[in-house]
């Protein structure tokens, strides 16, 4: 018997050790898990194969767990370094693996990678849940937080401690035991309700169609729109007819071009009544339930309202600040929108029609008016925006502002042959980061444009780790003998994403969780949006917008037309948007738990703001997915907030000269290099000398005449 046990033990020992050898071999062969001996330690894309990802994830999560265990089981008293900083430095390998996988999966995916993504998502979310719900870990974090005053922390360290502590507390870690169960239940209910909201909205969007049988009801519509409607009809077994739906790509062209007013009204009303039809897909009760649960959760965490809870983490900080922004923009927008109503009504009257402008007429008559006022379009501009010239112009702007030099490196590994790689150097020649630019669409790339990082900047063991940043676009490709000719919108997008890239490249932070773009949502678009201002400055346009055939710079009259067209319909756009931001805030500043009559609440909210009947709020409550099934509750304002910031910040450059060195230095030192290491409003005030004002944004939109 003893002998048998010994044999079994021996066999299993052999098996384990043999297995371990295999594992080690696998690890050494896996380029994601070994040291990267590439220049600047960029990912060795040439060696990484799809089959390397899953084992690398598993190994990296194991390693991260071991690091967390070491923090939790430390015999030392908890302090900033052995707990908070250690937590920040943990998971380095997992972040490295995840960055490569996520970024390549977005920009150059394949079916195998998509399969891995589905497999990894639940593993990762469970992995991080285990960390944020680890009671022993929280006990150490709390112990450090309790003695923070005595620790003599730097501002950056205070910010990191706050971020880590808040993460636990906002997840309910600090609640008394008897409330934890309720808290978890609320989160569970909220996630289910938001799924229900989304499903109802999807059903309501899909269930409504406008079927056109008589071709003459299509008059006014462009051929491509008719063809798409015929295609939809065919898919629904209605061959020979035309079907329009409540999806924006079908709805918007229809209400913009269809001459048949009754049909415009029918489709538009279908759109604005989604989730409000008193059927099995009605969202009214769900809205009321969601806002009640959110209020209860906020109260449990010690906040008066859900908006207070959300905004505490943002730059705006308090509901009052957000309301202030909404009111001033809404007021300015309404003045212009009322004039736009008059202009559109005049056009209706001139055409001999005998009716009052209604919401379903707005797009149609605005389009007509636009054609009348500005006889130019995108295609007139395109010959002036050659991709390579736009890029050169952008690099020149970066050089004139910050002394940066970008030099192409053709010897570094890339994940697709189209990708270009640049070394980013300071004026003194030292390399501060690496930038990948990936310009053209392909089947393996998702739509849109974005910036991410393969490695963020941080400091460790007295050294600085330089960032490796990626920007991805879907620009018009060169064809035949024509170079890639961008629309002005695409050119602005290149400047925009490069602005995010600068936020990552110029980052000068110690901790990775605060580095670069790790800032609140209502602050993160400042570095990107401000760059778009240079793209549109006449002085800069003259430099880079050169006709691809003649080399002539863009003429002044075209620049003037671009500027004027930018002011068109801004009253409508502002009012439609700000009324939704207002509704979002009103729903999330309630202080009383009760059954809300959604329609009544909405009407009262809009009335308070003097909404005009010709415009419908951009999202009514029952289809406001951003706030009831997305992550934007009490956050819809942030798009407008970012515009206020970028216009106000750029105004500083306009006042002092768009390439003024002192202003550029102040912007770099206070915003671009600071990441999330200090309070964003404090940083902004340090740069601007005061808090942001809305004037510059209003002026840019043509909402403020002077
Ligand atoms: Zn952006």
Handedness of CA 409, 414, 419, 424 (dihedral sign): negative
How remote is the CA of residue 657 from the centroid of ligand 1, in Å? 25
pLDDT grade for 251, boundaries at 50, 70 and 90:
very high
Strands 405-408 and 420-425, bridge-based pairing: antiparallel
More confident residue, 129 or 37: 37
Backbone angles phi, psi at 479, to 5 degrees: -130, 135
Model pLDDT for residues 138-149, shown as the tens digit of each residue? 999 999 999 999
C-beta separation of 457 from 506 below 8 A = no
Average pLDDT on 280-285 reads 98
Output the CA 496–ligand 1 centroid distance in Å.
6
Question: Mind listing the pLDDT tens digit for each residue in 360-369?
Answer: 999 999 999 9
Residue 279: which pLDDT band, with cuts at 50, 70 and 90? very high
Quote the ligand 1 centre to 611 CA distance (angstroms).
Answer: 30
Query: If pLDDT is split at 50, 70 and 90, which confidence band does 20 have?
Result: very low
Q: 52 near 32, Cβ under 8 Å?
A: yes
Can you give 525-589 as a three-state secondary structure string?
CHHHHHHHHHHHCHHHHHHHCECCCCCCECCHHHHHHHHHHCCCCHHHHHHHHHHHHHHHHHHCC
Q: How far apart are CA 423 and CA 102, in angstroms?
A: 23
Q: Which residue has the tokens 């006449």?
A: 538
Residue 133 has pLDDT above 90, yes or no: no
Higher pLDDT, 667 or 22: 667
Higher model confidence: residue 20 or residue 284?
284
DSSP 358-384: -GGGHHHHHHHHHHHH----HHHHGGG
Asked whether the predicted pLDDT for residue 336 surpasses 80, the reply is: yes
State the distance from the centre of ligand 1 to the C-alpha of 639, rounded, in angstroms: 10
| pLDDT average, residue stretch 218-238 | 93
Which pLDDT tens digit goes with each residue over 442-462?
A: 889 988 899 999 999 999 999
Paired with 529 in beta bridges are none
Q: What is the pLDDT of residue 98?
A: 97
For the cut 70, the answer to whether the pLDDT of residue 22 exceeds it is no
Residue bearing tokens 């005998």: 354
Sorted by sequence, the CB contacts under 8 Å of residue 291 that are 6+ apart come out as 306, 587, 588, 590, 596
CA end-to-end distance (rounded Å), the chain: 99
pLDDT band at 563 (very low <50, low <70, confident <90, very high): confident
Helix (H) or strand (E) holding 244: strand 242-245
* 13 pLDDT higher than 60: no
Report the length, in residues, of the chain: 706
Task: Pull the structure tokens for residue 78.
Answer: 């908890």
Residue 612 has pLDDT above 70, yes or no: yes
- Ligand 1 centroid distance, CA of 643 (Å): 11
The two structure tokens encoding residue 238: 């209605």
Average pLDDT over residues 607-634: 94
Average predicted confidence (pLDDT) for the chain:
93
Residue 670 confidence (pLDDT) above 60: yes
CB within 8 Å of 188: residues ≥ 6 apart: none
| Ligand 1 mean position, distance from CA 524 (Å) | 8
For residues 339 and 394, give the distance between their C-alpha atoms in angstroms, rounded to a whole number.
38
Query: Is this model's pTM higher than 0.85 or not?
Result: yes
Q: What's the 516 CA to ligand 1 centre distance in angstroms?
A: 13
Q: How far is the CA of 672 from the centre of ligand 1 (A)?
A: 14
Catalytic residue status for 497? yes
pLDDT confidence of residue 372:
85
The pairing of beta strand 242-245 with beta strand 405-408: unpaired
Distance CA 17, CA 499 (A): 52
Percent of the chain predicted with pLDDT > 90: 84
pLDDT for 24 = 57
Residues in Cβ contact with 318 at an 8 Å cutoff, skipping those fewer than 6 apart: 308, 311
| Confidence band for 284, pLDDT divided at 50, 70 and 90 | very high
Give the largest CA-CA distance in the chain: 106
pLDDT reported for residue 2? 37
Per-residue pLDDT at 537 exceeds 50: yes
Q: Give the whole-angstrom CA distance, residue 604 versus residue 626.
A: 21
- Which of the following is catalytic: 59, 497, 576, 614? 497
Beta bridge partners of 437: 420, 471
Which tokens sit at 257?
Answer: 């071009």
Tell me the CA–centroid distance for residue 529 and ligand 1, in Å: 7
pLDDT > 50? residue 11:
no
In sequence order, which ranges of 73-134 are alpha helices (DSSP H)? Answer: 86-89, 92-107, 111-132
- Rounded CA-CA distance 703/706 in Å is 10
Predicted local distance difference test score (pLDDT) of residue 9 = 37
640 alpha carbon to ligand 1 midpoint, in Å? 13
* Cβ pair 287, 598 in contact under 8 A: yes
Mean pLDDT value across residues 420-441: 97
Are 520 and 679 spatial neighbours (Cβ–Cβ below 8 Å)?
A: no
- How many C-alpha atoms does 255 have within 13 Å on its Cβ side? 22
| Encoded tokens for 602 | 């909405």
Of the chain, the percentage scoring pLDDT greater than 70 comes to 95
Q: Which two tokens stand for residue 548?
A: 């691809």
For residue 490, give Cα distances in angstroms to 177, 252, 382, 633, 647: 53, 22, 10, 30, 20
What band does 14 get if pLDDT is binned at 50, 70 and 90?
A: very low
Over residues 94-119, the pLDDT tens digits come to: 999 999 999 999 999 999 999 999 89
Q: What crossing angle do the helices spanning 488-505 and 387-402 adopt, rounded to 10°?
A: 40
C-beta separation of 298 from 306 below 8 A: yes
Predicted confidence (pLDDT) per residue in 71-97, tens digit:
999 999 999 999 999 999 999 999 999
Compute, in angstroms, the gap from residue 4 CA to the centroid of ligand 1: 67
CA of 70 to the centre of ligand 1 (A): 38
* Model confidence band, residue 166 (pLDDT cutoffs 50, 70, 90): very high
CA distance 428 to 287: 57
pLDDT digits (tens, 9 = 90+) for 487-511: 898 999 999 999 999 999 999 999 9
CA of 307 to the centre of ligand 1 (A): 23
Whether the predicted pLDDT of 237 surpasses 90? yes
Distance 87 CA to ligand 1 centre (A): 29
């Amino acid at each position: 018997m003893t002998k048998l046990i010994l044999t079994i033990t021996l066999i299993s020992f052999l098996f384990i050790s043999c297995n371990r050898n295999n594992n080690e071999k696998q690890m050494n062969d896996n380029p994601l898990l070994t040291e990267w001996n590439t220049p600047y330690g960029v990912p060795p894309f040439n060696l990484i194969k799809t089959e390397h990802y899953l084992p690398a994830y598993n190994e990296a999560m194991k390693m991260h767990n071991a690091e967390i265990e070491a923090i939790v089981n430390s015999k030392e008293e908890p302090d900033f370094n052995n707990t908070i900083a250690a937590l920040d430095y943990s998971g380095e390998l997992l972040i490295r693996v995840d960055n490569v996988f996520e970024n390549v999966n977005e920009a150059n995916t394949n079916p195998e990678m998509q399969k891995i993504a589905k497999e990894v998502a639940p593993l990762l979310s469970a992995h991080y849940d285990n960390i944020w719900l680890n009671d022993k870990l929280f006990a150490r974090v709390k112990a450090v937080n309790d003695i923070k005053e005595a620790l003599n922390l730097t501002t950056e360290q205070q910010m990191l401690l706050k971020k880590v502590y808040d993460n636990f507390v906002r997840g309910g870690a600090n609640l008394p035991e008897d409330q934890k169960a309720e808290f978890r239940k609320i989160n569970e209910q909220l996630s289910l309700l938001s799924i229900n909201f989304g499903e109802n909205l999807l059903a309501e969007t899909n269930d409504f169609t406008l079927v056109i049988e008589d071709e003459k009801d299509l008059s006014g519509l462009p051929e491509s729109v008719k063809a798409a409607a015929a295609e939809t009809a065919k898919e629904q077994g209605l061959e020979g007819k035309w079907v329009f739906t409540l999806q924006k790509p079908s709805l918007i062209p229809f209400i913009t071009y269809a001459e048949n007013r009754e049909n415009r009204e029918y489709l538009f009303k279908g759109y604005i009544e989604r989730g409000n039809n008193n059927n099995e897909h009605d969202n009214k009760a769900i809205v009321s339930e969601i806002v009640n649960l959110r209020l209860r959760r906020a109260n449990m965490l010690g906040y008066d309202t859900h908006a207070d809870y959300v905004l505490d983490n943002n730059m705006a900080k308090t509901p009052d600040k957000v309301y202030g922004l909404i009111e001033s923009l809404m007021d300015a927008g309404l003045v212009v929108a009322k004039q736009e109503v008059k202009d559109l009504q005049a056009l209706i009257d001139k055409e001999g029609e005998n009716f009052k402008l209604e919401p379903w007429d707005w797009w149609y008559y605005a389009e007509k008016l636009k054609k009348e006022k500005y006889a130019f379009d995108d295609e007139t501009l395109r010959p002036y925006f050659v991709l390579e010239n736009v890029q050169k112009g952008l690099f020149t702007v970066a050089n004139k502002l910050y002394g940066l030099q970008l030099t192409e490196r053709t010897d570094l590994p890339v994940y697709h042959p189209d990708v270009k790689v640049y070394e980013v150097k300071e004026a003194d020649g030292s390399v501060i980061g690496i930038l990948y630019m990936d310009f053209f669409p392909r089947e393996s790339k998702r739509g849109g444009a974005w910036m991410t990082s393969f490695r963020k900047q941080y400091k460790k063991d007295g050294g600085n780790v330089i960032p490796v940043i990626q920007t991805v676009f879907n620009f018009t490709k060169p064809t035949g003998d024509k170079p890639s000719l961008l629309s002005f919108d695409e050119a602005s997008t290149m400047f925009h994403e490069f602005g995010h890239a600068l936020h990552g490249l110029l980052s000068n932070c110690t901790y990775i969780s605060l580095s670069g773009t790790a800032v609140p949502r209502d602050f993160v678009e400042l570095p990107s949006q401000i760059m778009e201002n240079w793209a549109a400055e006449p002085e800069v346009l003259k430099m880079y917008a050169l006709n691809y055939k003649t080399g002539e710079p863009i003429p002044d009259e075209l620049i003037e037309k671009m500027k004027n067209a930018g002011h068109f319909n801004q009253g409508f756009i502002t009012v439609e948007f700000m009324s939704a931001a207002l509704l979002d805030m009103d729903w999330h500043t309630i202080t009383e738990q009760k059954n809300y009559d959604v329609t009544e609440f909405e009407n009262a909210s809009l009335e308070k703001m003097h909404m005009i009947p010709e415009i419908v709020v951009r999202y009514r409550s029952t289809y406001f997915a951003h706030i009831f099934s997305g992550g934007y509750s009490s956050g819809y304002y942030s798009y407008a907030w970012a515009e206020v910031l970028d216009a106000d910040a750029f105004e500083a450059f306009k006042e002092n000269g768009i390439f003024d060195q002192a202003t550029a230095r102040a912007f770099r030192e206070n915003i671009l290099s600071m990441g999330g290491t200090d309070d964003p409003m404090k940083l902004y005030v340090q740069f601007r000398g005061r808090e942001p004002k809305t004037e510059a944004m209003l002026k840019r939109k043509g909402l403020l005449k002077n």
